[in-house]
Structure 1
């Protein structure tokens, strides 16, 4: 966790005050942040941010912290960058589980797209094992059961993770949490909407199976099961099953006790059809606990103690625990709301280039290390693009019809009328003229894409 760079980092993103950098790479950056309390936030603006309340009326300062992930400006004109980022947001939103951080807000249409999800205070599995050593049977089984729960929730929404690894598992106060849906893919891989092409290779080679190394697009749930086994292998040995890439031959089992071999030997095989499903992995973990005389609850307690004894939870900056945000930051954000703009001004009429970004191919990469200043594994996963060719003059493009919206699989409910009080608030704190076309487009897109949500 590093202090903000006052020359490069924004102070406010949407309704969030940025507090520190959690991790940065060539393509993106992740920040520790917290929501700014704003008065009279217009309904349309709140809907545009997809703001989701935590459900608790009063929370501690630490409980209000989020991770804000952004695309860097130099990626905005790279082909398909925005669409990939928007699909990552949809993936995080779709998975509802105690083992996956909840999405709190997002603005994929902003000048610099971003989303915010719950901050998990704890070290990554990669950091914990490297700093405190390998796991005993109780913490090992508790970790495995948590990963089964996370993958079951992900697969239940017709998603695959495709990049489960130690640096994408954070051990927070409530147990292990799975992060980073930058490589998540909808199971409609045959669809013309799929962004991943046949033959593409994405993910982290030491933790992926052979079939993913050959062709990422056509992998199925067994690929995530393999990554689960590779992550458990790391928890016992401090290394992946294969140092460079998966092989057709079994891994070297040095450092793996005999009691762990039955499960890992079933998972870490080249043939997807020979691997157990998630129910089979769960049953094997229960058997391991029974043989050790442990209950799942006792194993989870041992894992919590192991994490606490390591003392590797990142230290928060002082302002993160303050009762109130920086008054100057809050005033700037409130003034923007009172003008009728969002704090990062996506509705401002003079916002150039809000729509019409030309997008095409981009692939997502990942690194197993947490990276400098990235405790908890919040390192962004966008891959470096190839150098752009020299600019050449071109004749004006012919006008192209806007793409038709993707139909929903559910009926669209009639819009809910705002009550008179809400209308009065919006009128008092926004410009009386018609909202800019950008705002109307955003609102229409939201109503269609998220019509199943009762709170939008």
Structure 2
């Protein structure tokens, strides 16, 4: 997951969370990397001011209540929220890894045994969601993060209680992602059942192992037509033989013809065990596989652009820096934590964040002019005051930073310096 600096207009804190950078954005909101008072990293989701109204607040409040209700090792944990704030926000566990869509696009499809492991993990996680009488309703590759401890499901913004008669959508209005949407959901059938998440999981696994979705077309409306047409079978080209029966059942047009999530887990285990492997071993291999690909393979040239941290004053192109590259090299000693100061915005085409690490060259006695060395005060003594020198302005405010945040900023600075072309 790539992080970019805050923009000058971004908030610096929300609730008890200090915001450190941007993670991503969508049509409704922005997601920031935040940090709690105790140093816990968090993904802080904020509704854009331009779309804040009574309906968006109500939907946001529903997402908060859903996250308070569910829990599990494969669900990004709820950390805090305020739906009534001027800028409604929601904080969840930060998962340091790309989503499944980006991983497959960058590194290619997963092997069948690892896809089966992913299916077993996510099916078990969805079973816990359904046990709380909830449906996700928007499961897709972009909502599965591949973290260092395995995959986790995020974004319950469209989740709904299975028996609820309350809806935030108008009659005949359909919400969700068409490429992973079950036929009955696309057709506006209500109430929906757990089978919609089974279909979405099947579409997700098809993309993971074959790199495409059950139905693809040029426009969402054409996709809707293909999904709801019982005479159009899903495209299972490229699916390995051992996964074809499972995905065929999960992507059945009729909800009653799809397997339960428990049956999905059992079939995924059978695929894994047929290759002489245990489920726990396959899970570990899945995490190791996604972590290794992320660490050693560069991002594609057409990936989402990021801004170097900090943004250089000139327009010289710089190499992007991702969180995976922030590990301190063994041969580089830990540097003094940087100081954050208030800075003015840069040129209009390259805005600087309001708070960036101030990089000061290390004083090396052998590289300093003799006059400069003579001017240095003795240890323990304050430097003399020069009446001709204008005192530097003090920063207007100071942000608190934990040791983890300071180390992260320092590693960004080190990685940036190592990759800068000048």
- The TM-score with structure 1 as length reference comes to 0.62
Would the alpha carbon gap of residues 184 and 18 (structure 1) be closer, same or farther in structure 2, given more than 3 Å must change? same
Provide the residue aligned with 1:226 in structure 2.
Answer: 199
Is 1:129 matched with 2:104? yes
Would the alpha carbon gap of residues 312 and 189 (structure 1) be closer, same or farther in structure 2, given more than 3 Å must change? farther
Provide the residue aligned with 1:3 in structure 2.
Answer: 4
Q: 1-side partners of 2:69 and 2:120: how far apart?
A: 21
- Give the counterpart of 1:118 among 80, 93, 99: 93
Provide the residue aligned with 1:295 in structure 2.
Answer: 278
Would the alpha carbon gap of residues 133 and 226 (structure 1) be closer, same or farther in structure 2, given more than 3 Å must change? same
Q: Is the 8 A contact 1:123 1:312 kept in 2?
A: no
1:427-442 → structure 2 map (5 Å cutoff)? none
User: What do residues 372-407 of structure 1 show as CA deviations (whole Å, max 9, x unaligned)?
Assistant: xxxxxxxxxxxxxxxxxxxxxxxxxxxxxxxxxxxx
Q: Which has the larger radius of gyration?
A: 2
Provide the residue aligned with 1:315 in structure 2.
Answer: 323
SS at match of 1:117: strand
Q: Is the 8 A contact 1:197 1:217 kept in 2?
A: no
Would the alpha carbon gap of residues 195 and 312 (structure 1) be closer, same or farther in structure 2, given more than 3 Å must change? farther
Q: Is the 8 A contact 2:16 2:37 kept in 1?
A: yes
Q: Is the 8 A contact 2:136 2:160 kept in 1?
A: yes
Provide the residue aligned with 1:25 in structure 2.
Answer: 26
Provide the residue aligned with 2:154 in structure 1.
Answer: 179
Provide the residue aligned with 2:211 in structure 1.
Answer: 238
Would the alpha carbon gap of residues 13 and 293 (structure 1) be closer, same or farther in structure 2, given more than 3 Å must change? same
- 1:7 positional shift: 2.5
Provide the residue aligned with 1:209 in structure 2.
Answer: 182
- 1:25 positional shift: 2.7
1:69-148 → structure 2 map (5 Å cutoff)? 69-76=45-52, 78-148=53-123
Q: 2-side partners of 1:317 and 1:87: how far apart?
A: 37
SS at match of 1:129: helix
- 1:91 positional shift: 1.1
Q: 2-side partners of 1:293 and 1:3: how far apart?
A: 43
Q: Is the 8 A contact 2:273 2:279 kept in 1?
A: no
Provide the residue aligned with 1:66 in structure 2.
Answer: 42
SS at match of 1:19: strand
- 1:139 positional shift: 1.1
Q: 2-side partners of 1:164 and 1:256: how far apart?
A: 20
Provide the residue aligned with 1:377 in structure 2.
Answer: none
Query: Relative contact order (alpha carbons < 8 A, sep ≥ 6): 1 or 2 greater?
Result: 1
User: What do residues 213-233 of structure 1 show as CA deviations (whole Å, max 9, x unaligned)?
Assistant: 011642210000000011000
User: What do residues 66-119 of structure 1 show as CA deviations (whole Å, max 9, x unaligned)?
Assistant: 00001111222x341111101111111211110111111111111111011110
- 1:198 positional shift: 4.1
Give the root-mean-square deviation of aligned CA atoms: 2.8
User: What do residues 24-43 of structure 1 show as CA deviations (whole Å, max 9, x unaligned)?
Assistant: 23321000111135xxxxxx
Provide the residue aligned with 2:251 in structure 1.
Answer: 268
Provide the residue aligned with 2:372 in structure 1.
Answer: none
Q: 1-side partners of 2:153 and 2:31: how far apart?
A: 16
Would the alpha carbon gap of residues 32 and 234 (structure 1) be closer, same or farther in structure 2, given more than 3 Å must change? same
Q: Is the 8 A contact 2:295 2:324 kept in 1?
A: no
Q: 1-side partners of 2:140 and 2:71: how far apart?
A: 20
- The TM-score with structure 2 as length reference comes to 0.67
Q: 1-side partners of 2:82 and 2:141: how far apart?
A: 29
Instruction: Identify unmatched segments of 5+ residues in structure 1.
Output: 38-60, 335-456
